[in-house]
Structure 1
Amino acid sequence: MTIAHDVTGHGPDVLMIHSTATDRRMWDPQIPALAEAGFRVTRADMRGFGDSPLPGTPWNDADDLAELFGDGPVAVIGSSGGGYVALEFAARWPARVPALVLLCAAFPWPKSPERKAFAEREDALLDAGDLDAAVELNVDTWLGPAAGDEQRAAVRVMQRRVFELQPPDQPEPEQIEIAFDPAAITARTLLISGAHDLPDFRDIADHLAGIIPGARHTALDWAGHFPGLERPDVINPLLIAFLRNP
């Protein structure tokens, strides 16, 4: 099955991978700017998100995304859980990825007290069947103070869709795990973190900046977990400048 995706623009390929609280719509503020800047942008819904239902058998997200591009080069941008998939993509096929941007990327990491409290509260709400409250918990947790009503509404819709496609009362879907080493990445790499995000993701960015050769970490004092949604006026020029830099 080909996962749901859309392609906009003409030029060098860019792949955008959404977080696990959203779907490919999270990149709506970036698509016109990147296309106008001369890039061919593909954004896809991973299985269990947006327009891509869960399959009946185990799968691997990086394999799904790699199939969209044959053997051609592609710059990769990933957010949160999609950032982890972007890491895997860039580490398993380093020659194919000239540039890598990770916005508040996930990575195996000891949970902070704040993240444990979030997970426990979300589990309690889902166990009680209160999906509305679970959605609001995610909106409040992941969006920083720069986000307005429009951004909060967008995340609310996307998170609700995640719960619809991955019902909390059903077993967690099985995925194929493939080991990879971030140190194998050869792409120019930019890591972005937010001061208003959970501390785990700032620590992850620091850690990855130390093991991915030549990686650069930019910490944003205004940002939460979704800086591309919160301040596209800042993030879009940053992405374009990095992608254009040879």
Structure 2
Amino acid sequence: MLSELSKGKPGKGEIQEHSVSRDPIYENNLFGTLFQKLEVGMPLADVDGTMINYRYDGPVNGEVIMLSNSLAADLSMWKYQIPLLTEAGYRVLRYDNRGHGQSAAPPGPYSIEMLSLDALKLMDFLGLEKVHFCGLSLGGMVGQMLGACYGARLNSLILCDTASYTPFPKMWDERIEIVRKNGMAVLVDATIDRWFTKSGQERLQEDVEEIRRTIVNTSVEGYCGGCSAIRNLDLRKTIRRISTPTLVVVGEQDQGTPVSAAEFIKEQIALSRLKVIPDAAHFVNIEQSIIFNSTILSFLRNQIIGWNGIISKEKTVIG
């Protein structure tokens, strides 16, 4: 169970304004040098002594949707989602989980509880009472903990390509050992093969190369801390407490967090829907961004208390 947060008045974080969706260059190279330019000088939040990097996009008065990254990624992984969400009127808050991107990488081990508290305290720092929360992989594990223990702070929950427990914890110990001895570069090829289908790698070559660089540049300490959090994950009983309307999304060819893991999560959460997206592996939000975007936007717009069901596999826009 997450420990109680302090009751102090939330601070006011600095907000850096920029609407990515209005920049014409954005459409030409989603992970190119433009983003390096835009992300220089992004604000940091002091979360109990750990500096957490975050970025706002979209209208100041819009409902906030908070996006949480996967292991070995950073907030740039959500760039395909920014134009649609901001044009739909949402205020998009992305942040780098501790140990990733431009956030601090204190020595591990980390835990899902710790990462969840980072997210909650970032909300407090920014004066946010409630958000829509969307996380992928590690970010989805954070979302499950938030939904189970702090559901009153969430308007809705989107869990993407994630799992509720780790069946093979020794595998994560092995990854930690390999990275500490050899650095991040040794993991890149295998990671890309898990995150994208072969056809996706061919179709999205520029994006994949940029993500390769992100993996290599991930802090060893931060990566190992994230691995320790995943290694010890077991939320199978905890997530039964989630009462927030929840969308579970998974790529049909995801190897690391397969469809069966998504189906299990869906079965445990009363107000939940499941969307299986074809022709996608782990990074479904990039590999099939159009389907992913239409799916989450439809969910955000059409929440009905008391519903439960499955969104069938399809490639058409869900309206």
Common fold: TM-score over 0.5: yes
Change (3 A) 1:58 1:109: closer
On the 8 A contact 1:98/1:186 being kept in 2, the answer is: no
Deviation at 1:55, TM superposition (A): 2.6
8 Å CA contact 1:76–1:100 kept in 2: the answer is yes
Is the Cα contact below 8 Å between 1:49 and 1:161 reproduced in 2? Answer: no
Q: What is the one-letter code of the residue matched to 1:7? A: Y
Matched, 1:41 2:74: no
Asked whether 1:142 is paired with 2:142, we answer no
Residue 120 (structure 2) aligns with = 66
Higher normalized contact order (CA 8 Å, seq sep 6+, divided by chain length): 1
Tell me which amino acid in the other structure corresponds to 1:66: L
Unmatched runs of 5 consecutive residues or more in structure 2: 1-45, 304-319
For 1:14, which of 65, 70, 80 is the aligned residue?
A: 65
Q: Which blocks of at least 5 consecutive residues in structure 1 are unaligned? A: none
Larger radius of gyration: 2
**Equivalent residue in structure 2 for 1:183, among 214, 234, 240:** 240
Q: Deviations over 1:88-130 (max 9, x none)?
A: 1111111221211111013213249xx96xx698568647626
AA at the equivalent of 1:4: N
Whether the aligned pair in 1 keeps the contact of 2:135 and 2:143 (CA below 8 Å) is yes
Question: Contact 2:86 / 2:92 at 8 angstroms: preserved in 1?
Answer: yes
C-alpha distance in 1, partners of 2:87/2:276?
A: 26
Who is 1:212 aligned against?
269
Query: % of aligned pairs identical?
Result: 26
Aligned partner (choices 216, 219, 244) of residue 160 of structure 1: 216
Name 1:25's counterpart in structure 2: 76
* Matched residue type, 2:99: G
Q: TM-score, normalised by structure 1?
A: 0.85
Q: Helix, strand or coil: the match of 2:258?
A: helix
Residue pair 2:251, 2:281 contacting (<8 A) in 1 also: yes
CA contact (8 A) 1:53 1:165 kept: no
TM-score, structure 2 normalization: 0.67
What is the one-letter code of the residue matched to 1:64? Answer: D
| Other-structure match for 2:53 | 4
CA RMSD of aligned residues (A): 3.2
SS of residue matched to 1:155: helix
CA distance in 2 between counterparts of 1:153 and 1:224 reads 17
